[in-house]
Amino acid sequence: MTTSAHPLVRLDAVHRQFHLGETVLDALKGVSLDIHAGEFLAVWGPSGSGKSTLMNILGLVDAPTAGAVWFDGRPTQTLADDALTEFRGSQVGFVFQSFNLVPVLSALENVMLPLQIRGMAEHEAKARAATALLDVGLAKFSANYPDKLSGGQRQRVAIARALAVHPKLVIADEPTANLDSENSRMVVELMREMNRAKGVTFVFTTHDPRLLDHVDRKILLRDGRIETDEVMA
């Protein structure tokens, strides 16, 4: 846990509207939320409740139509697009439902990719990626291509890729949706372990209430609003 006074992310009365022709859809209807550095937090709730919309805003991929977002004490609405992209790239890692690994790259090369996109020299990216794969228990599989990895292993590579940039926050939207229950549990346990070992803040969404056993805090979203926000003892 950090001693910093401000939350890692603060949402203040966030609304997100989508315009679909004549109709306006309110996906988030005034969400206020502080996420503190070091938290391990799940967002759950029915389909269409606004989980992905919320994750995109927390991860600075999308901006609210009303309300404000602060990231590490900075008001993000004042950042220009390219500054925001750079800031997001250095602060936030993403894990996706469909893993999003590049099929023609090995596990190691997949983990290196975001580092090289950010301009890191190849030898340094390789060393960082190798460490990240070691951390998630996949050092032996570094040379494997995604089609030679199980679903659970692919998601562990994706977690290594997210962590390799040394982000403050990892956003994982339905990271276990394509996994069986055993691999789902392993992926949540791995995220938990990385959260504890590295102090990285994790926010993930899930439909599966069994995966909520591991979390510090769970937020139930319903119809674009926070229904409950429970901190575990």
Calculate ∠ Cα 206-98-211, nearest 5°: 20
Q: Which residues bind Mg ion (CB under 5 A)?
A: 51-52
Q: Compute the radius of gyration of the chain from its Cα atoms.
A: 18
Residue 34: CB partners within 8 Å, gap ≥ 6? 7, 9, 10, 11
38 makes contact, choosing from Mg ion, ligand ATP, none, with CB < 5 to 8 Å by partner type, with none
Closest separation in Å from C-beta 218 to Mg ion: 16
Residue range at the interface with ligand ATP (CB under 6 A); choices 2-10, 48-56, 152-160, 210-218: 48-56
Answer for which of 49, 76, 91, 155 binds ligand ATP (CB under 6 A) is 49
Per the rule left: phi > 0, alpha: psi between -120 and 50, beta: everything else, 164 is: alpha
Nearer to ligand ATP by C-beta: 53 or 91? 53
Task: Check binding of 47 to ligand ATP (CB under 6 A).
Answer: yes
Nearer to ligand ATP, 55 or 149 (CB): 55
Residue 141: burial class (beta carbons within 10 Å; 0-12, 13-18, 19+): buried
Restricting to residues 5-34, which ones interact with ligand ATP according to CB under 6 A? 18, 20, 25, 27
Least separation in angstroms between residue 13's CB and ligand ATP is 18
Name the minimum Å distance from CB 125 to Mg ion: 31
For the CB of residue 53, give the shortest distance to Mg ion in the complex, in Å.
8
Residue whose beta carbon is closest to Mg ion: 52
Number of residues in contact with ligand ATP under rule CB under 6 A: 12
Bridge partners (DSSP) of residue 29 are: 15
Nearest CA to 223 out of 57, 58, 21, 51 is that of 51
Q: Please provide residue 105's backbone torsions phi and psi, each rounded to the nearest 5 degrees.
A: -115, 145
Minimum Å gap between C-beta 40 and ligand ATP is: 20
Question: At CB < 8 A and 24+ separation, what contacts does 83-89 make?
Answer: 84/60, 87/60, 88/59, 88/60, 88/61, 89/114, 89/117, 89/118, 89/165
The contact set with ligand ATP (CB under 6 A) reads 18, 20, 25, 27, 45, 47-53
